[in-house]
Chains A and B, each alone.
Chain A
Amino acid sequence: MTNWTLFAPELFMLAAAGLFFVLSLSRPQPARDYAVARVAAAVGLSLTAWAVGAEGVLFAGTYRVDLFSQVFKVLITTGFFLVICLCAELSGVADKRHSEFYLLLAVCTLALMLLTSCVHLLAIYLALELSSYSLYILVCLRRGREKGLESGLKYFIIGACASALMLFGFALLYGTGLSLHLADLARELPGRIHEPVVLIGFVLGLSGFLFKIAAFPFHFWAPEVYEAAPNQAAAYIATVSKAGGIAVLMRITAAAGAGGDQLVGFLMVVSVASMTLGNLAAIAQQDLKRLLAFSSVAHAGYVMIAILSFNAMGLSSGVFYALSLLVMKLTCFMIVIQVSSGGSNIKINDLAGLHIRAPVLAAALMLALFGLAGIPPTIGFTAKLLVFTAAVESGYLWLVIVAMINVVISLYYYLQVLKAAYFLEPKESAPPVRVPASLNFLALVLIFLTVAAGIYPRPFIAAAQAMTFGIIG
């Protein structure tokens, strides 16, 4: 008998999607849609938080509800809620498309929640596709179709290629007689990972998840998509979708046991290429969203370090890194959304004088950028410290050195943004930044999280360790 209470958060998200579907059939009313979305996201978040301790197996063993999946679901719904909070002025999307926008966000959130819990490769693939398809369309929803359409198509084609490679990899794994169920795979895979077919199958099977977190060689879509998507959708892709991708990537690579030399070698190439390419390309960017996109690519590289360490420390540091990325990237996008007028894109120089125009936002931006660059005492510093410790524990000192060089490179462009916000004089024509009190409060909460988790990360680390213990089961 299926215990439906385990599935309650997902069911609620499905119901929310259904509600938006009904709303999309009626006369468009952006204010009503926004209010409904906020309530739905808040209820979804509290329901997920309530179900955080749930454990069990559903759907003939293909769906595993455990602490790991539940905490990631809380992260995902938190991100969803915060992104919805930033949708008060959804001017990047035509008014009559708002209910579809929320519908797709809800479906994507549902898909990411499913993704964290699925333990059968078939279900994982389908959930991944569902989340990707929602995002392709979200990108296309940008007002002024051509730009959004072109990037949406590019996103779609790269995603379809990654999916094809991933399915081919799964087929190879299946063809060698391996089970597609993660628990069985975790038993059989470590002994056979040295066989060429199994290795190639597994590596190809990872490509879909590398696409999801925008790691090399599937990173091409990131800058264009971030630039062309509605700002809120870009925020969602940069935060929530990343958290889901990291979760599933960690669960799947954990099935490979200690990894094996070739697999670790491949992941190292991915990691080094992602962070180097991302950081070097970010230096040249003027558009703030493009800069954040390349910084996402670089951060995907750092996440790969945590994953390729293949030890307990690596797993828990990966979770912590996902949390830190969620907090820091959301803060950055909050500033992007508030500073841009009419849902347009902003250049770095548009931030000029932000500390006068919106002091709280400027402070939040400063801390988030410090965090992304890995400067103490922020959450980003602690996350990087944990990841690098995990890598050193596995004996990859040189990888840490490469990553440190990358961190120094990244400092340059993060400080460029900060310089614009704090030291440039605002232009006379710069539109005022209107910050509602609720957003100021949100910014303060994010600042508090960034600093608190940086200074006193112990409870978070303990939670991450508890989550990743027995990740495969």
Chain B
Amino acid sequence: MSVYSIFFYLIAALMILSTALAVTRKNMVHAVLFLVISFLASALLFFLLGAPLLGILEVVIYAGAIMVLFLFVVMMIRIRATEGSGFLLWHYLGAGGLSALYVAACLLLVRHSGPGTGAPMPAAVAAPADFGLYLFERHWLGIEIVSLLLLVALIGVLHLGLSPAGQRSGKGGPY
């Protein structure tokens, strides 16, 4: 076992553990923090696999931006820890069944794949500068569309976020 494999198994275990903790915590803030650890671990995996840019993006976007946003929302609306799990028995059965199916498929895959059965994947390593140049040269229309999308989303959030009382100050609607 090389030192890389040891790192891999360590990180993978950390990922599974923190994700498991994230979905079982009653306190939402703790759950989000554990999810951040899980994202950091997956970023480490990307580093290990030789994709540093992807790793950094994972840290900046997922662990950094999105999760901090979640944290803000959770803290702002102050969700209290609920009593009981809120799930019924058949929820557990359904989820367990699907997961078992998934694990079985994975085990089957592992069994049938060994040395010599896999197709070699070409290594694609892009320096951040190359990636940025490619993105902005070839797909800048897409980036412009995304910027418009953000504007529209902002309008939507503003509309939804306005207090309903302010909305109803006009004359009564059809409903």
Contacts and interface: CB of A to CB of B under 8 A. Distances in A.
B83 interface: no
A103 interface: yes
B148 A107 contact: yes
A193 interface: no
B173 interface: yes
Contacts of B167: 94, 143, 145
Contacts of A97: 159
A63 B139 CA distance: 10
Nearest to B153: A133
Contacts of A350: none
B148 to A, nearest CB: 6
Contacts of A94: 167, 170
A31 interface: no
Contact of A129 (B149, B156, B159): B149
B148 A130 contact: yes
A134 interface: yes
Interface residues of A, number: 45
Nearest to A60: B138
Interface stretch (A242-250, A337-345, A405-413): A337-345
B173 A130 contact: no
Given A107-B148, A122-B142, A143 B156 contact: no
B54 to A, nearest CB: 14
A41 interface: no
B174 A107 contact: no
B152 interface: yes
A92 interface: yes
A118 B144 CA distance: 13
B155 interface: yes
Nearest to A7: B141
A137 B142 contact: no
User: On chain B, which size bracket covers the interface?
Assistant: 20 to 34
A21 B159 CA distance: 14
Given A120-B139, A130-B152, A137-B156, A146 B145 contact: no
A92 B152 contact: no
Contacts of B160: 140, 149
Contacts of A118: 141
Contacts of A134: 152
A141 interface: yes
Interface string B117-146: 000000000000000000001111110011
Given A136-B156, A137-B159, A140-B156, A130 B145 contact: yes
B146 A126 contact: yes
Contact of A62 (B139, B151, B152, B156): B139
Contacts of A126: 142, 145-146, 149
B84 interface: no
17 contacts: A17-B148, A21-B151, A62-B141, A95-B170, A110-B148, A111-B148, A114-B145, A133-B153, A133-B156, A137-B152, A137-B156, A137-B159, A143-B167, A143-B170, A143-B175, A146-B175, A345-B174
Interface of A: 14, 17, 21, 58-63, 92, 94-95, 97, 100, 103-104, 107, 110-111, 114, 118, 120, 122-123, 126-127, 129-130, 133-134, 136-137, 140-147, 149, 342-345
Given A129-B149, A137-B155, A143-B174, 4 more contacts: A58-B141, A62-B139, A143-B170, A144-B175
Nearest 3 A/B pairs, CB to CB: A144-B173, A144-B175, A344-B174
